[in-house]
Amino acid sequence: MAETTPIATTDSLAPDAAETAVQRRRMHPALLGALVGALVAVSLTALFRGQYLDATVTEAQHRDLIVHSMALADMVGRVEAADRSVSATTLDALIRDWQGEFPELSNIRVLRLSGAQLLASTNPDDAADKALPRRLTRDEKQIFDLAKSLSAAVDTNRDEGVSRKRQILLDSISDDTLAISLPYFLTDGGKVAGMVQLQKRLEPAAMPAGLISGMATLVAIGLLAFAACAVLGPRNRADGRPWLLTGVVALLFSLVFLFYARALIGTGAELSSSLTEELAGAYQAVRESAASIGGRYELSVGSERVNRWDVDAYQRPYNVIDADGRILPASAELAAARAQPFVRALWGNWVVGLGLLAFVGLGFGRQLLETIKEHRHAYLYVSPAIIGMLILVFFPFFYGIALSFTEQTIFTINEPITEVWAGLSNYISILGDFKVASQTAQGWVFNYSNFYWTLFITVCWTVFNVSIGLSVGMALALTLNTKGLRFRSVYRVLLILPWAIPNYITALTWKGMFHPQFGVINQGIQMFGGSPVAWFDGVFSSFITGLATNGWLSFPFMMVVVLGALQSIPDDMYEAATVEGASRWQQFRYITLPSLKPTVIPAVIISVVWTFNMFNVIYLVSGGAPAGANEILITEAYKIAFEKYQIGYSASYSVVIFMILLIYGVFQTKVTKATEANI
């Protein structure tokens, strides 16, 4: 009988051979990392590409509608300027001629601010109750308010010399209808005479295809990664060093993604170029129609040698299409500027893809999954807290950091971050301004709004307050720890009251006590023959008001911490020191202080952070008086954001504050080693 050879199974193999067999059946981590990174990068790119193309088409549609509307507003203003007495009849014929020339326009309405008159309209509902022209009814007040807001926006931009408020308002009525409201002028540079409103039916725009290129990119990355793993994979498994293979796969991933990104950027440029050509043709048609219709009413419209109709929402000319409809070289520059956010997004997607590839390819992803699987119950229990921290702490934190690199103000709050990106300019402005003081004919003058002056005041404020709180708190704790002290529990309750009362109530109470005329402190000074002090008029005296208030608030915390630490010190140590002849000072120095260190040092760190950011006391007591000389960093950041409306600059201030406290906390913990266990 022939002898049969047993088939080797994984269980019958040696441990190393079994592990090798399992690894061969698994997908190589570098290949898996390439697929995961490519899937995420391509998916994000498809999302951002869609947003970029939608924004490009939307901007072209807006510009097209603005060109039609600006031409009509130009003719309306010239009709009014020519003869205001007959303008209503003429305007009605004018807007109907314009609608006949461009059937996609509808609901054209002309409102005159003077007298709140609706002069002309192609909407039958506007003339249903009373013939035009007529005064606006009470129900139409929002139309008049809209016209007044446009007029105010024009005046504000002219007075300030900046384009801060939109002078043209666009609104989507539905998916295929866009409405516009814009002012018209009787003369160039004159006051706003009224408002023109109209709607336009939009034609669906043809978007370039992108699915095939995205799928092709995924397939190409997968095939190249598979080939690299097939060639270099066994060697990497043998030596246990996946760095070479992961690097090769990352290089292949980068090359394919680069070609993919270049193709997408080229597609976007082609779309932008074609839309610009369509807009140039539309402008020529509008110009010819305006010249034709304007000739019927003896208006010289469409004969200008400059293009005044292709403007943005602030009525600033784009200067990319000349008066004859020719596309200028600046058009390419404008398209490139519009594509910059998408280009930056592509770089970000590439970095995200590479990060995921390295994380999975080097084995960290598998280790993470195994750790989660092993401790799944623990992760399940803490997941609600983690989710809450992500939403309530980490997202606002990182969003604030992102805002610190922008020039965002309250007037640009709705603009995307990419449109107000400022880079490091805020930090350079904050940290690079060293003009704290200057010498004048009247003497030295300090710049109280300078960051370094505010930092100096903040450091002084923190050092003095923590010193007062620690010294007073420790003295009271030592007193309360005295053996045989009567009414100890009563003293504890009374001394903890300043901490128990809400600090804003305490701050307002102390502010009243420092009132120059009615405050109890000045009343007491006068009782002893002194003169009342204007506490908030001097830098030093105003600083004292905040110091006294916060000192009253801070000592109970230190007292409670020190008292708890004192009661944990064994009495045997003091008895042994007494037997050895140690004095009370020596016992305090060599027993009490070292025993208090592990408790007091962390409390001091917390107290420094709290005091450094003690907003309520400064804001409610002195308000930074006089002239902001006693502002601390946190109150200065608040006023920059909510009084000067410079949100991005304030976010930079906040990040600087965070970095200062982070460096202090790390340094203090490393030097004192108070949080380390004594073994």
Query: 310-354: per-residue pLDDT in tens?
Result: 999 999 999 999 988 899 998 999 899 889 888 988 999 999 999
Query: 53-103: per-residue pLDDT in tens?
Result: 988 999 999 999 999 999 999 999 988 887 656 566 788 899 999 999 999
Q: What is the pLDDT of residue 87?
A: 61
Mean of pLDDT values over 506-518: 93
Top pLDDT among 420 and 586 is at: 586
Please give, one letter per residue, the 3-state secondary structure of 20-71: HHHHHHCCCHHHHHHHHHHHHHHHHHHHHHHHHHHHHHHHHHHHHHHHHHHH
Residue 432 domain flag: no
From the number of C-beta atoms within 10 Å of its C-beta (0-12, 13-18, 19+), residue 447 rates as: middle
Claim to verify: residue 157 and residue 257 sit in the same structural domain: no
Claim to verify: residue 534 and residue 613 sit in the same structural domain: yes
Mean of pLDDT values over 170-197: 90
Residue 421 domain flag: no
Residue 460 domain flag: yes
Mean of pLDDT values over 493-520: 91
Claim to verify: residue 127 and residue 42 sit in the same structural domain: no
Q: pLDDT class for 18, splitting at 50, 70, 90?
A: very low
Which of 201, 234, 256 lies at the terminal end of a domain, its last residue? 201
Q: Domain containing 461 — which CATH number?
A: 1.10.3720.10
Claim to verify: residue 161 and residue 238 sit in the same structural domain: no
Q: Is the pLDDT of residue 27 over 90?
A: no
Residue 613 domain flag: yes
Q: What is the pLDDT of residue 357?
A: 92
Q: pLDDT class for 212, splitting at 50, 70, 90?
A: low
Q: Is the pLDDT of residue 24 over 80?
A: no
Residue 400 domain flag: no
Residue 546 domain flag: yes
Percentage of the chain lying above the pLDDT 90 cut: 54
pTM value is 0.69
- Structural domain range at position 128: 61-201
Residue 442 domain flag: no
Q: pLDDT class for 209, splitting at 50, 70, 90?
A: low
Give the Cα separation of 71 and 323 in Å (integer). 13
Contact 447, 436 (CB under 8 A): yes
Claim to verify: residue 625 and residue 496 sit in the same structural domain: yes
Helix (H) or strand (E) holding 398: helix 395-403
Claim to verify: residue 235 and residue 380 sit in the same structural domain: yes
Claim to verify: residue 597 and residue 521 sit in the same structural domain: yes
Query: 256-304: per-residue pLDDT in tens?
Result: 999 999 999 998 999 999 999 999 999 999 999 998 988 887 777 766 7
Query: 232-256: per-residue pLDDT in tens?
Result: 766 555 445 578 888 899 999 999 9
Claim to verify: residue 46 and residue 111 sit in the same structural domain: no
Claim to verify: residue 338 and residue 246 sit in the same structural domain: yes
Q: What is the pLDDT of residue 86?
A: 56
Q: Which two tokens stand for residue 382?
A: 């803490």
Q: How many domains does the chain have?
A: 3
Query: 398-414: per-residue pLDDT in tens?
Result: 999 999 999 898 877 77
Average pLDDT value over all residues in the chain: 87
Q: Cβ contacts of residue 618 below 8 Å, gap of 6+?
A: 461, 546, 624, 630, 631, 632, 634, 635
Which of 171, 201, 231 lies at the terminal end of a domain, its last residue? 201
Contact 112, 148 (CB under 8 A): no
Q: Is the pLDDT of residue 1 over 50?
A: no
Q: What is the pLDDT of residue 571?
A: 87
Claim to verify: residue 282 and residue 194 sit in the same structural domain: no
Q: Please state, as a whole number, how many other Cβ atoms lie within 10 Å of the Cβ of residue 371.
A: 11
Q: Domain containing 187 — which CATH number?
A: 3.30.450.20
Q: Is the pLDDT of residue 6 over 90?
A: no
Which of 201, 231, 263 lies at the terminal end of a domain, its last residue? 201
Q: pLDDT class for 457, splitting at 50, 70, 90?
A: very high
Claim to verify: residue 145 and residue 224 sit in the same structural domain: no
Q: What is the pLDDT of residue 254?
A: 94
Residue 43 domain flag: yes
Q: What is the pLDDT of residue 421?
A: 82
Claim to verify: residue 275 and residue 306 sit in the same structural domain: yes
